[in-house]
Amino acid sequence: MPEVRRGSLAPPSDSALSSDAVITRPAQSHQSSTDRVRFNIPEDEAATSPSQPGEPLDSAFAELPRRTSDGPRRNSELPRQSSDQRRSLSYAQRPQAEAYYDSRAATQKEYRRRATTLLEYYDENPQLLPQLPFTWHHGWKRWRLFIFAFLVFVDASAVPIALYYGLKYAGDVEGWIIFAVVTTIWGGPTYLEFAIRTLRLIKVDRFYRPLGTNHRWCFDMLTYSSTLTIFVVTALFIIGSAPHNVWLRVLCMPAPAILYCYGGTLFLITLYHQMNWPAPFRISSTAKGEKVLPGAYYFIEDVIAVNALGGRPYREALAARYKASPRFRQMVYKQSWFWSIPALILAVPLTVISVIPQVPATGAYGVAWAVPFLWTALWGVITIKWCKRDMKREREEWERGVDPEQEIKRKGSSIETA
């Protein structure tokens, strides 16, 4: 995919898009190299840029010949070329084409360079399917989320279980000592990540903040829900481990409490969306009094924009995608209910198991701490496959020029409007 270059975006002219191209609305991720983005630069720079007619028009920058399987393998065997032979055509002489953004658009350098937002750009080019500047296929950002999720699972689920049963039955350590260690260690990566994302939001640079906000103390929805969760879990740890004879059943509740907090937040926001109630206060990029979007939208927006370093470019692209694609809106709406209702349903029996005397406290502890995180992993795998299928269908419908709303109505399914 092309790297975003210096200059201003030039929307495709009427001559650059044929009537067939506009009707079929091609997805940007399937454009050929001749249809990719071109940028205008000042004429004085263009005049000083050397050009060579023999070079291909889709060359984005000058580069050495790429190594192929049947070509020379060592640098010493590469044919030497003069600098004139390697120069590509200047940007001013290249034809305009449809533009799209890849993951490199979500950088602070590119964000400062742009004169318009991605939401404004896609409003001016409605034939383009807005692309999200984040990918799971390459780059450090995806691995950052993977590593963070793995550390959270180990620290929040495996460590409390291993320390409790290991120290109690193998070391015969008293309960208050065990949970003094557990309380000290538990949540380390989570608390650290929470502190880092909070610092990003309060920095003078507004790159990570929600859309429509300039105040450095304007946090997103994930910050508020995480604050509530951390407060509840910390309170349960303190109450349960404070007595010399620890209250083990109280210490069974932190993991179900996480389901209550995040699942309840997701359910309440989605309920506001379903009932068409206005936002009682700012919810991430949704201002007070505006229509509330499904809860999963805000979780996706805040996690990728701040934790995965996507910033405002990702918030802009996500808003443009949600506005342009009915299929995408339906997917986000279904995922909101798919994650919120089962989380609350699962938390109820875990609470019952934790408090009723018929279940031994030592057994309830392991069940209450393990099940929520195993359920999250299972639901995550299902969500990945589900969303891949929906997004593939979305792209195919966009390329064929099919109206997703009519297609969904024909199949007897409801769809959410923006």
The whole-angstrom separation of Cα 152 and Cα 375 is 14
β-partners of residue 286 are: 283
Residue type, 14: D
The whole-angstrom separation of Cα 415 and Cα 331 is 9
The ranges assigned to domains in the chain are 8-64+73-124, 140-410
Residue whose structure tokens are 């034809």: 95
Q: What was the pLDDT predicted at 408?
A: 63
Q: What was the pLDDT predicted at 415?
A: 52
Q: What was the pLDDT predicted at 155?
A: 84
The whole-angstrom separation of Cα 36 and Cα 100 is 7
Q: What was the pLDDT predicted at 95?
A: 61
pTM value is 0.71
Q: What was the pLDDT predicted at 168?
A: 87
The whole-angstrom separation of Cα 102 and Cα 301 is 17
Q: What was the pLDDT predicted at 283?
A: 94
- Per-position b or e across 27-52, b if 16+ CB within 10 A of its CB: bbeebeeebbbbbeeeeeeeeeeeee
Residues of the chain with pLDDT under 70: 1-107, 115, 136-139, 141, 404-418
List the one residue out of 337, 350, 418, 339 whose CA is nearest residue 379: 339
List the one residue out of 84, 117, 79, 86 whose CA is nearest residue 101: 117
How many CA atoms does the CB half-sphere of 349 hold within 13 Å?
Answer: 7
The whole-angstrom separation of Cα 103 and Cα 106 is 6
Q: Which tokens belong to 32?
A: 């050929």
How many CA atoms does the CB half-sphere of 13 hold within 13 Å?
Answer: 5
Each residue's pLDDT tens digit, 204-239: 788 889 998 888 788 899 999 999 999 999 999 999
